[in-house]
Amino acid sequence: MPHLGRSGSRAAHLHNRAETPATDLKLFAYHRFLVLRWIGTVGALLIGVGGLGAGALPVVNNPYGKAPLGDLMARMLQTSSSIVLIGAGLIVLAWLIMSRYVGAASVHVRDLAATFLCWSLPIALTAPLFTQDIYSYLAQGSIVAHGMDPYSAGPVQLLGAEHHLARSVPFIWAESPSPYGPVALGLSALVSVITNDSIVLGVLAHRALSLAGIASCAWAVLQLSRRCGVRPTTALWLGILNPLTLLHLVGGIHNEAVMLGLALVGLELGLRGVDKVTYHTRPLGFGLIALGGVLITCAGLVKVTGFIGLGFLGMALARKFSRMGRPAVVAIGVSASAMACVLALTVAAVTAITGIGLGWITGQGGAATIRSWMSITTDIGVISGFFAMLLGLGDHTEAILSITRLVGVLIAGGFVVRMLFAVYRGAIHPVGGLGVGTFVLVILFPVVHPWYLLWAIIPLATWANRAFFRVAVMAYSAAMSFFVLPRGLALPAATVGTIYVGAAIAGGLIMIAGWWLFRRKSIIT
């Protein structure tokens, strides 16, 4: 055989690739997916190690300093923070590139589940990250476990200023009553009893609850995406593997994980019940609707925004009644009455079981003391107040904020009502209506944190099938993954600059080296 030379060999290689069977191409894509899984896993391990020093550590008797490398990481705050951000960068990079492969036939739901475990477990075993809120959960759980009213005063007043849990509560919440519902507080009280108010065991127990909530959410995303005709692997990748889910619901242990899990499982079960409603409906259909309503109500008893799902489940039922020949007033009235009964009975049952009163109804205004730049209504109020002071009209910022925020909530409420009637008319699927309505509510909310948009992203991931939506979620999630410092507290500007610059330089060098290595070994082209 004649010698082909370098150019001849390359031509033969390209010819062979063109004739590669489809199964080999699928295997090639799957190997790329596995490489990306390992890149994200390395990032998660870096977050786990860096979090021992840069995480939201307790104010007194830091137990994480006793862990391997914990004391060293704690003494190098800037380096530890940069390590966490580098790890977050690797997860974000792997997640973004995965968008090319999650739709491949060779990537299955079990592959995404394994990826989530690889990425979440190192984060679940480190210190709290990106927020101090977990210490409020622990303190409020102790308050309830000791038979006190969490809605009457803050942790400092009820537990005492020297209590080890109260001392780690963020200053803004130290003297504020709890804004959370009885389901959230009941779970926190259970954790307090089981762990005997241990900080480390309490953090791990709350992380277990978050992971259980995310697992429930993943099951619901899988079912709802099939219901709405969206590829399940794409929906799971976009919502559950989302860096914001990993960093803030696992790392930050926010109770949105439990809220979303209850709400979406409840919606799926309720819609299954609606599907079974016929002229000769069996009890199973109404039983599933009732069970779904109970779960959605429990989601609202974590955070009140969870109640929104009741309206969309009710409108789906009303539409079914309407298609069976019932007048609109009757269909909507019966459905609304049914949802109201489920709501009232569930609230009564939860109140009796937990022994927690109804203070959560009037205790929702505490968070409004925060001025969040991500809130459009807050931005408008603050800017208007600033210009009023420039014009010599005095500082009326608080009064203006009360107006702009109220107007924002009213507009969002009106939009949610519009979506409800769109569901009744059949113009939008209940899942889509819930996601779009929640999105508008979040952007007009008085206080918005980066992870709040997950309230809309996760349900919309099961319904929205356009590339524009996915690209927008990818851009937002990637950017917001670096917005909050690992400790969740403000630091001097020079320190912040050093952390981000160090992370950017080191991360850039790692990516350049990795790209060169993968190109050299023909793993990534």
- Per DSSP, the residues of 340-378 read HHHHHHHHHHHHHHH---SGGGT---GGGGS--TT-HHH
- Give the Cβ contact number of residue 464 at 10 Å: 22
Which residue type, as a one-letter code, is found at position 212? A
Tokens matching residue 357: 């009163």
> What's the pTM value of the predicted model, to 2 decimals?
0.88
Helices and strands counted in the chain (H then E):
21, 0
Name the one residue in this structure whose structure tokens are 């009163």: 357
188 confidence band (pLDDT: 50, 70, 90) = very high
Those residues whose C-beta lies under 8 Å from the C-beta of residue 392, and which sit 6 or more positions away, are: none
Quote the CA–CA distance of 159 and 142 in Å, as a whole number.
8
Which of 16 and 48 is assigned the larger pLDDT?
Answer: 48
- The string of DSSP letters for 446-497 reads SS--GGGGHHHHHHHHTT---HHHHHHHHHHHHHHTTTS-TTSS---HHHHH
pLDDT > 50? residue 435: yes
pLDDT averaged over the chain? Answer: 85
Q: Are the C-beta atoms of 405 and 378 separated by less than 8 Å?
A: yes
- For residue 298, pLDDT over 90 is answered with yes
Mind listing the pLDDT tens digit for each residue in 490-518?
Answer: 777 787 788 888 888 888 888 787 777 76
| Cβ-count burial 406-425 (b if 16+ within 10 Å, e if not) | eebeeebeebbeebbebbbe
Report residue 324: phi and psi, to 5°: -90, 5
Q: Residue 246 has what DSSP assignment?
A: I
* Cα separation, 416 vs 314, whole angstroms: 13
Least confident residue range of 110-124, 269-283, 473-487: 269-283
The pLDDT value given to residue 316: 93
- Find the mean pLDDT for residues 426-444: 93
List, in order, residues 6 or more apart from 114 with CB less than 8 Å away.
37
Give the side-chain half-sphere CA count within 13 A for 127: 33
Structure tokens, 452: 């709040």
Place 14 in a pLDDT band, splitting at 50, 70 and 90.
very low
| Model confidence band, residue 365 (pLDDT cutoffs 50, 70, 90) | low
**Greater pLDDT, 247 or 74:** 247
Q: Between the CA of residue 268 and those of 113, 274, 283, 309, 310, what are the distances in Å?
A: 20, 10, 17, 11, 12
Residue where the block lists tokens 């992380």:
207
Phi, psi of 263 (to 5 degrees): -65, -45
Percent of the chain with pLDDT over 70: 87
223 pLDDT above the threshold of 80 = yes
Q: Tokens for 378, please give them.
A: 């807050």
Q: Tokens 């696992």 identify what position?
A: 250
Q: What is the rounded average pLDDT of the residues 364-383?
A: 72
Residue that wins the pLDDT comparison between 249 and 104: 249
pLDDT confidence of 295, banded at 50, 70, 90?
A: very high
pLDDT over 80 (residue 25): no
Give the model's pLDDT for residue 26: 67
C-alpha distances in angstroms, 504 versus 93, 175, 507, 511, 514?
13, 38, 5, 10, 15
Q: Residue 328 pLDDT more than 70?
A: yes
Residues 471-484 have pLDDT tens digits of 999 999 999 999 88
More confident residue, 378 or 335: 335
Is the pLDDT reported for residue 60 higher than 60? yes
Question: How confident is the model at residue 525, as a pLDDT?
Answer: 47
- Closest CA relative to residue 254, chosen from 295, 296, 207: 207
Cα 447 to Cα 438: distance, rounded to the nearest angstrom: 14
Q: Is the pLDDT of residue 39 over 60?
A: yes
CB–CB of 183/304 below 8 Å? Answer: no
Residue range 328-333: average pLDDT? 90
Kindly report the CA angle at 115 between 113 and 121, in degrees rounded to 5? 95
| CA 524-39-133 angle, 5° bins | 145
Name residue, tokens 């914001």: 244
Q: Which amino acid is at 344?
A: A
The amino acid at 317? L
Residue 209: burial class (beta carbons within 10 Å; 0-12, 13-18, 19+)? buried
Mean pLDDT across the stretch 206-225? 96
Q: Residue type for 199, please?
A: I
Cα separations in angstroms, 5 against 11, 16, 387, 520: 10, 16, 74, 20
The type of residue at 359 is: G
Point out the least confidently predicted range of 24-28, 33-37, 92-96, 200-204. 24-28
pLDDT at res. 368? 57
CA distance 199 to 137: 11
Mean pLDDT of 258-266: 96
| Window from 71-80, 135-144, 496-505 with minimum mean pLDDT | 71-80
Compare 369 and 150 and report the one with higher pLDDT: 150
Give the per-residue pLDDT at 3: 43
pLDDT at residue 74, rounded to an integer:
59
Give the Å distances, CA to CA, from 63 to 126, 139, 202, 464. 11, 17, 12, 44
Residue 81 token pair: 């923070």
User: Is the pLDDT higher at 26 or at 168?
Assistant: 168
HEC string for 14-46? HHHHHCCCHHHHHHHHHHHHHHHHHHHHHHHHH
pLDDT at residue 15, rounded to an integer:
44
Confidence class for position 369, pLDDT limits 50, 70, 90: low
What mean pLDDT do residues 221-233 have?
Answer: 93
pLDDT of res. 363: 65
Q: pLDDT-based confidence at 152, cuts 50/70/90?
A: confident
Whether the per-residue pLDDT at 32 is higher than 90: the answer is no
Look at residue 11 in the predicted model and tell me its pLDDT: 44
**What mean pLDDT do residues 407-413 have?**
90
**Sign for the pseudo-dihedral over CA of 295, 364, 454, 511:** negative
Average pLDDT over residues 179-205: 92
Type of residue found at 488: G
d(CA 102, CA 98): 6
Biggest CA-to-CA distance, the chain: 92
